[in-house]
Amino acid sequence: MTRLFMLVLFIYILIPESGNAQLNNDKLGAWYMYFITTNFNNSQWGFQGDVQYRNWNIGGDLEQLLISGGLTFSPISTKLNFGLGYTNVHSGAYGKNNLTTMESRIYQDVMFPVQLGSRIYANHRFRFEQRFVEDQNLRTRYRYRVGINVPLNKTRMERKTIYLAFYDEIFINGQRNIGNGNHVEIFDRNRLYMAIGYFIQNGVQVRLGVMNQTTNSWKKNQLQVSLHHRL
């Protein structure tokens, strides 16, 4: 099953996408990511953060650099996890253009894990963002993501577990008018992701996967390498 997944993964990476003249959709992009979560002294409060370095190609052509951090809260006797945080985004233009754009985001989200049977671990996340983009009006955006992890060699997500990871996330803009006579569509983008993951030890896992990102103007495959760390 693992070999079959890897074959599908590489075929998916190599499939060319039709696209516009400004962005080479056939060129594989890459995201390199680090995620960290922790709880404060085993309390209901915690911290979540991440650093993401995104490229239009495998490396060097900056798409975005994101640095995020925020507080989390888990009510007693529930599986809910609420988050409030801030993200700084440094976005680059495609190709040799060195133009960059700065953005600050404030976000609120809620996550709800669900276990289906003995081997399917699902997680729902709703996120609301307030976006302060350079030279634009205040923007808002709604995001919904559903993810599934399926362990292969064990029934639990624990040390030395190899697993498959999938998610789909849709982004919806809160308003169309962004200032200076510019407008955006209600649909912002969709991200479809699949990966193979490995628990190095409890609290530390790595993933190698590919994400297909679709917007109103382009569609692109992007390799993803991520390290997930829970203290």
- 118-144 pLDDT per residue, tens: 899 999 999 999 999 999 999 999 999
Q: Is the pLDDT of residue 19 over 80?
A: no
Q: Encode pLDDT of 140-182 as tens digits.
A: 999 999 999 999 999 999 999 999 999 999 999 998 999 989 9
Q: Chain-centre distance of CA 136, in angstroms?
A: 24
Query: Can you give the length of the chain in residues?
Result: 231
Q: φ, ψ for residue 140 (rounded to 5)? A: -125, 155
**Mean pLDDT (whole number) for 81-109:** 93
CATH 1.10.150 fits 2-230, yes or no: no
Strand partners, 63: none
Q: Is the pLDDT of residue 226 over 80?
A: yes
Give me the residue label for tokens 């699949």: 194
**Band (22; pLDDT cuts 50, 70, 90):** low
CA–CA dist 168, 205 (Å, integer) = 20
CA–CA dist 72, 70 (Å, integer) = 7
Q: What's the angle, vertex CA 24, arms to CA 22 and CA 25, rounded to 5?
A: 120
Structure tokens at 125: 């996340």
**Mean pLDDT (whole number) for 64-72:** 98
Q: Is the pLDDT of residue 105 over 60?
A: yes
Q: Give kind and range of the element (H or E) at residue 3.
A: helix 2-14
Give the other-Cβ count within 10 Å of 156's Cβ: 11
Mean per-residue pLDDT of the chain:
90
Q: Please, are residues 189 and 215 in contact by the beta-carbon 8 Å criterion?
A: yes
Diameter of the chain measured on Cα atoms: 55
Domain residue limits, the chain: 2-230
pLDDT of residue 89: 97
Give the residue with greater pLDDT, 23 vs 62: 62
